């Protein structure tokens, strides 16, 4: 099983979808799927929230072959992209398979990438076909410049988008933010250069739109195999985590045995600290949303690294405090508390 493509087009396929690759916690999505059918070579990627598929039409003498697909692991994408770029854009690259390998070769050199032959991947044709089947017949279908879409990322916000009509601006809404983006004249799919949705989807006949149920990416995609604990790296996730901790600690506090003052104090402290952190985060987000997002992201890295205790010690010492005395005082407090509990237990017997 093999197909050919020039070096320039291979690079374009990779570049168009590599931003949609899933993380290492979903192994089957942590890479780019190379998918060949009877007419096209596709590069497909998904991070569970987006799905992207780019295609290249095969030469006539390669069409009609049996479909095949392999996933290039994410760690191999950079060396593959650099290898392809080292060739002239018009150089022909043959992509072929052998057991456990995907081979990219030219007349003089090749790169062999280890793959899992029977690795699963979401049925992207079915998924996108289901979504397309749910689009209303008279749906506004404006064209937008993808480079301009990137400008909205500076809001640091979750945005809502309303598509109005074909030749008028898209409305964009965020927290304390509103904007619009004008469409561009589209000179791609369609005989007139102004494509309707029906004309565009007709260019993808391999998408499977014959479905009884509507698509839901959240239920179609595999679950993340994440560690037991990972710090929240976005403001919405951090807010949810802090509020959950506040409520959980309050619940634990109410149910804690009255004869265990240490447990009561721990639950109370955890609840107070979580609520305090939430209030500070809310105030910072109100004053400077970008700084709040940056702080949460940096905090996630520090918590995941696990060395924040050492950092706290150094910061306390530089601020003129005596962290060693704090530690000694706390150890003395714990020792005194243990002695008191032991004495009370002895008296009870």
Per-residue pLDDT tens digits of the chain, which is 349 residues long: 789 999 999 999 999 999 999 988 889 999 999 999 999 999 999 998 899 999 999 998 888 888 999 999 999 999 999 999 999 999 999 999 999 999 999 988 999 999 999 999 999 998 888 888 878 767 778 888 888 888 888 776 678 888 877 778 889 998 778 999 988 876 665 555 557 788 888 888 888 755 555 456 767 788 777 655 567 778 888 888 888 888 888 777 776 666 666 667 777 888 889 899 999 998 998 888 888 888 988 888 888 777 788 888 899 899 999 989 988 888 888 788 788 778 877 777 6
pLDDT of residue 121: 93
| Cα 336 from chain centre | 49
pLDDT of residue 323: 87
Residues 339, 342, 344: CA angle, nearest 5 degrees: 110
Domain extent listing, the chain:
2-122, 125-201, 235-348
pLDDT of residue 230: 66
What class does CATH assign to 2-122?
Answer: alpha beta
Q: How far is CA 48 from CA 211, 223, 298, 305, 347, in A?
A: 20, 8, 24, 26, 61
pLDDT of residue 227: 58
pLDDT of residue 145: 85
pLDDT of residue 110: 93
């Amino acid at each position: 099983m093999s197909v050919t493509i020039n070096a320039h087009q291979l690079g374009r396929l990779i570049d168009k979808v590599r931003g949609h690759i899933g993380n290492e916690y979903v192994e089957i999505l942590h890479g780019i799927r190379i998918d060949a059918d009877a007419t096209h070579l596709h590069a497909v990627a998904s991070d569970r929230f987006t799905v992207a598929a780019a295609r290249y039409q095969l030469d006539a003498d390669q069409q009609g072959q049996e479909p095949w697909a392999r996933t290039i692991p994410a760690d191999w994408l950079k060396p593959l992209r650099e290898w392809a770029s080292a060739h002239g854009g018009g150089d022909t690259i043959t992509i072929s398979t052998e057991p456990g390998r995907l081979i990219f070769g030219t007349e003089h050199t090749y790169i062999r990438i280890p793959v899992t032959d029977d690795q699963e991947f979401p049925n992207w044709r079915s998924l996108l076909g289901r979504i397309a089947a749910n689009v209303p017949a008279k749906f506004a279908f404006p064209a937008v410049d993808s480079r301009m879409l990137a400008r909205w990322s500076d809001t640091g916000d979750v945005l809502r988008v309303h598509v109005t009509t074909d030749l008028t601006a898209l409305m964009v809404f965020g927290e304390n933010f509103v904007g619009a983006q004008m469409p561009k004249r589209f000179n791609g799919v369609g005989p007139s250069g102004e494509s309707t949705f029906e004309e565009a989807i007709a260019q993808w006949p391999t998408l499977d739109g014959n479905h009884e149920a509507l698509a839901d990416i959240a239920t179609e995609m595999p679950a993340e195999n994440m560690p037991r604990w990972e710090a929240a790296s976005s403001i919405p996730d951090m807010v949810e985590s802090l509020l959950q901790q506040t409520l959980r600690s309050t619940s634990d506090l109410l149910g804690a045995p009255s004869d265990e003052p240490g447990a009561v104090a721990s639950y109370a402290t955890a609840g107070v600290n979580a609520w305090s952190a939430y209030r500070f985060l809310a105030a910072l987000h109100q004053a400077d949303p970008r700084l709040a997002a940056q702080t949460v992201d940096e905090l996630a890295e520090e918590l995941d690294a696990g060395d924040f205790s050492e950092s706290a010690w150094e910061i306390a010492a530089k601020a003129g405090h005596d962290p060693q005395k704090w530690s000694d005082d706390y150890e003395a407090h714990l020792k005194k508390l243990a002695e008191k509990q032991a004495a009370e237990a002895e008296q009870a017997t």
